[in-house]
Chain A
Amino acid sequence: MNHKIAKDAVVNATIDILTKAETQLPSDVIYALKQAQMRETSQIAKAQLSAILKNIEIAKEHSIPMCQDTGILVFFVELGRDAHLDFKLEDAIIEGVRRATETIPLRPNAVDSLTRKNTGNNTGIGLPDIKYELVDGDKITITVAPKGAGSENMSAITMLNPTEVDSIRNFILTTVLNAGGMPCPPIIVGVGIGGSFDKAARLAKSALLLDIENNPEKMDERDELERDILNDINSLGIGPMGLGGDTTALAVHIKTAHCHTASLPVAVNIQCWANRHASITLGGDE
């Protein structure tokens, strides 16, 4: 039987996942931060990671945003082909964002790109950024990933020559090196390779949603490449907050797509330690 999804359910779901994402970090990230804190040899670095872990606890306990940069709000919607909606989905998500801005609260971050005038409610032309993907079934899964500017501003994209596959690693490392302490390391590095100019960037951003794997036995070739690049990044010694140390990045996630024979787009989306995201699934047979 096909269950109808109500607009209110989407509005409330949007508020719920936003509240969760802003106040509680996913467990894989917390685990990785704790491991890093135990491993660090630099006392300054250890103190930075301890402050981060303490901050995460306070945010969860008091249900307040873990970072004052509550980000621009990026939504990933997996829309079931058989889901039945009699309202505009984007209107419900926008309404949820407006209300969550008041209730959580969120910092109003959305400004006109030229006049810099703040809309006051985190919505505007193209914001929140909602990305849709059609999937099988009659459910809707909504994921929100608030993205802070400090790390977003350090991201980069390049169109390499097709013969420069070996330069990909160099581009990733250069991007991390240039970012230094500015994107709030330890960072998570999302890499998109192939597709097109914009597709590479989308792949890089969605790669940030992947879990940090800690199982070396399950590694395939891609995982090994990610691990090698991660080791290279950490050998730079930038450390937490750029104050030096062993932990510059917690993870590297790579996503690829086929591309034009004459192209090799590579995008690197940098994410601060606060890799915030939360999801909810609505509808379907329960």
Chain B
Amino acid sequence: MEYHLTIPLNKNDIIQLNAGDIVYLTGTVFTARDEAHARVLEIEEKGEPLPFDLNGAVIYHCGPLMQQIDNKWHTVAAGPTTSGRMSKMTPSLLEKFNVRALIGKGGMQNVSESLRDKCVYLTYTGGCAALAAISIKNVSKVHWLDLGMPEAVWELDVVELGPLVVGIDSKGCDLLSDVRENAKQAFSRI
């Protein structure tokens, strides 16, 4: 199935999706990599407010290449980064915030229970940074630039970002993990 969804996403948008479905997203996504995840959790721990709202939000595992021209940020290239690095921090993050979708590449480990009934993991084709850049129409804000360009949180306004493949759905189906298990079995036969 193919879906064209608008952010902010609600629970119904999410629970209809099955692993292997194709999704295109329109709206604002927040980039966040290792350092941003760590800082979100650190701030939450202290009980302080975040400078952005993660409820109904989409987190994009991406360290974009940006360029500032006349005080305005532009996206040069913005493909997904390896989501596996964020696997350990994701369950705590999903416990605290109603994030509806994560976008990345390469799959995630031990997060399907945290996604259950509320969130999906979408994969975007790794390396497709130029393709992503043409669907990013505006850079609305940047937070935490002190972390460096790749690690900062960028608010990107996207139109029809995709094709995104549902990698882990909200019912516990994990396409990438299934592929990995099959690969292990194929390996044992060689």
Contacts and interface: CB of A to CB of B under 8 A. Distances in A.
Interface of A: 44, 47-48, 51-52, 54-56, 58-59, 62, 64-70, 105-109, 111, 118, 148-150, 153, 173-174, 177, 180-184, 232, 235-244, 272-274
Given A67-B77, A68-B78, A242 B149 contact: no
Given A58-B130, A66-B130, A243-B176, A44 B107 contact: no
Given A55-B128, A107-B65, A243-B165, A236 B186 contact: yes
Contact of B131 (A55, A236, A237): A55
A44 B165 contact: yes
Interface in B160-190: 163, 165, 167, 175-176, 178-180, 182-184, 186-187, 190
Given A47-B22, A108-B148, A153-B82, A243 B183 contact: no
Interface of B: 20, 22, 62-65, 67, 76-79, 81-82, 84, 105-107, 123, 125-134, 148-150, 163, 165, 167, 175-176, 178-180, 182-184, 186-187, 190
A244 B20 CA distance: 10
Given A68-B63, A241-B125, A108 B149 contact: yes
A249 to B, nearest CB: 12
B107 A107 contact: no
Nearest to A23: B130
Contacts of A69: 63, 79, 81, 127, 129
- The secondary-structure label for the interface of chain B is mixed
A65 B77 CA distance: 7
Contacts of A153: 82
Given A68-B77, A242-B106, A184 B127 contact: yes
Contacts of B178: 244
Contacts of A65: 65, 76-77, 129-130
